[in-house]
């Protein structure tokens, strides 16, 4: 039974090659231990050609023949990760770690699977273990940094990105993410410097251009920010976010008409992009076109009923359109959704208490 199956697999693997058929037939006569190696190699080849299901079957077989085959567990885990079977991947990494406690790749792989399962704390521990075993493995530092960034622990994130850059000075992503961390920490100059470094290491890494623009905007270098947005948009015009963010920068620079143009372009690219609708409402408020402002904010709210900023802006528009009760409702809703100034606007406009 087993032989037939193996043969069948061999046929599948290289149907056109007569030599392979011979080889497979030969393989079926190999001793069990070597058979496991062979299956393992076959699994690797299938993994590389992205035949993940077939690869898993090879690794299964290899492990049946040799249950202490740590690398096979590792590879099956990695394949399962690709198949998004993260829980099974974690189980395989567990086995691999049991068999080979010093393999940093096992921890790193499990960390990635844990992250994919939405378990950042477990992933953090495994990345940490990876850095203990192999401190010069930059991705472990980098990914843990990203996790800590997402947790909002920017100081810890920065120290991880520092380490990643220390062990791999050409790590563009690490520079990029450290830049984002600096931005979050309010160090805009440092952020701009790191984004610039990431771009010099990887000139086609365009998101860095957008982020540098945003950092410049925060640092009140509106001219510099606009230059970066322009550079990005001269290469790629498919991003509603890029248009929206350039529009916001134009808004900051007092160019409300230019801002409206950008937000409109973003809406043209993606009519469901609520931020563009909301921001265009803000620009129309500045242009004192309150009807359009109210309509755009209403559209943003229709796209996202929990959109605090859009309620706030529509409240402002309604106030100027002499719809006091409507404005009150919107400000109170904005406050309920987290923009607290909404309550004081409501209170000072003689609105009744929120229901």
Binding residues for other proteins (CB under 8 A): 142-143, 146, 149-150, 172-173, 176-177, 180, 183-184, 198, 205, 207-208, 210-211, 214, 241, 244-245, 248, 251, 274-275, 278-279, 281-283, 285-286, 293, 308-309, 312-313, 315-316, 319, 322, 339, 341, 344-345, 347-350
- Tell me how far apart the alpha carbons of residues 223 and 218 are, in angstroms, rounded to a whole number: 12
Whichever of 43 and 120 has its CB closer to other proteins, that residue is: 120
**Torsions phi, psi for 233 (to 5 deg):** -70, -20
Q: Quick check: 229 and 245 in contact, CB under 8 A?
A: yes
**Which residue lies nearer to other proteins by CB, 40 or 161?**
161
Contact 24, 6 (CB under 8 A): yes
Q: Name which of 87 and 349 has its Cβ closer to other proteins.
A: 349
Nearer to other proteins, 146 or 233 (CB): 146
Q: Which is nearer to other proteins, 104 or 205 (by Cβ)?
A: 205
Least distance between other proteins and beta carbon 278 (Å):
6
- Provide the token pair at 89: 């991947």
CB of 198 to other proteins, least distance (A): 8
CB of 27 to other proteins, least distance (A): 40
For other proteins, the closer CB: 37 or 153: 153
Q: 305 vs 17, 20, 302, 333, 346, CA distance in Å?
A: 61, 61, 6, 10, 20
Minimum distance from CB of 100 to other proteins (Å)?
26
Closer CB to other proteins, 53 or 322, in the complex: 322
For other proteins, the closer of residues 58 and 309 by Cβ is 309
Smallest separation (angstroms) from other proteins to the CB of 92: 23
The least CB distance from residue 219 to other proteins, in Å, is: 14
The nearest distance, CB 253 to other proteins, in angstroms, is 13
Choose between 91 and 202: whose C-beta lies nearer to other proteins.
202
Least distance from other proteins to the Cβ atom of residue 208, Å: 8
319: closest CA among 296, 288, 341, 340? 288
Residue tagged 């790749």 (tokens): 105
Q: Are 280 and 264 in contact (CB under 8 A)?
A: yes
Minimum CB–partner distance for residue 5 and other proteins (Å): 40
């Amino acid at each position: 039974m087993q032989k037939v199956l193996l043969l069948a697999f061999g046929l599948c693997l290289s149907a056109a090659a007569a030599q392979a058929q011979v080889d497979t037939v030969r393989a079926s006569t190999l001793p069990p231990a070597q058979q496991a190696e062979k299956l393992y190699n076959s699994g690797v080849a299938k993994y590389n050609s992205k035949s993940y299901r077939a690869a898993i079957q090879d690794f299964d077989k290899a492990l049946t023949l040799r249950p202490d085959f740590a690398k096979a567990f590792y590879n099956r885990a990695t394949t399962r990760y690709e198949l998004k079977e993260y829980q099974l991947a974690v189980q395989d990494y567990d086995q691999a770690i049991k068999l080979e406690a010093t393999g940093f790749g096992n921890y790193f792989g499990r960390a990635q699977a844990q992250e994919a399962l939405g378990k950042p704390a477990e992933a953090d521990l495994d990345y940490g273990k990876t850095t203990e075993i192999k401190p010069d493995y930059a991705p472990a530092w980098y990914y843990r940094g990203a996790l800590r960034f997402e947790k909002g622990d920017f100081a810890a994130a920065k120290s991880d990105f520092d380490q990643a850059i220390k062990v791999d000075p050409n790590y563009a992503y690490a520079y990029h993410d450290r830049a984002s961390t600096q931005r979050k920490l309010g160090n805009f100059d440092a952020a701009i410097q790191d984004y610039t470094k990431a771009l010099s290491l990887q000139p086609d890494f365009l998101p860095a251009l957008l982020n540098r623009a945003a950092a410049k905007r925060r640092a009140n270098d509106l001219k510099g920010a606009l230059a970066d947005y322009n550079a990005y948009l001269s290469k790629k015009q498919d991003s509603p976010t890029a248009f929206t963010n350039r529009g916001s920068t134009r808004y900051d620079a007092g160019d409300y008409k230019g801002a409206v143009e950008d937000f409109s372009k973003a809406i043209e690219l993606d009519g469901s992009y609520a931020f563009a609708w909301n921001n265009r409402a803000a620009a129309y408020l500045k242009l004192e076109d309150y009807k359009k402002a109210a309509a755009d904010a209403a559209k943003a709210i229709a796209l996202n009923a929990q959109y605090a900023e859009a309620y706030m802006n529509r409240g402002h528009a309604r106030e100027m359109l002499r719809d006091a009760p409507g404005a009150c409702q919107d400000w109170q809703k904005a406050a309920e959704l987290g923009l607290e100034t909404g309550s004081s606007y409501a209170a000072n406009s003689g609105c009744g208490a929120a229901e």
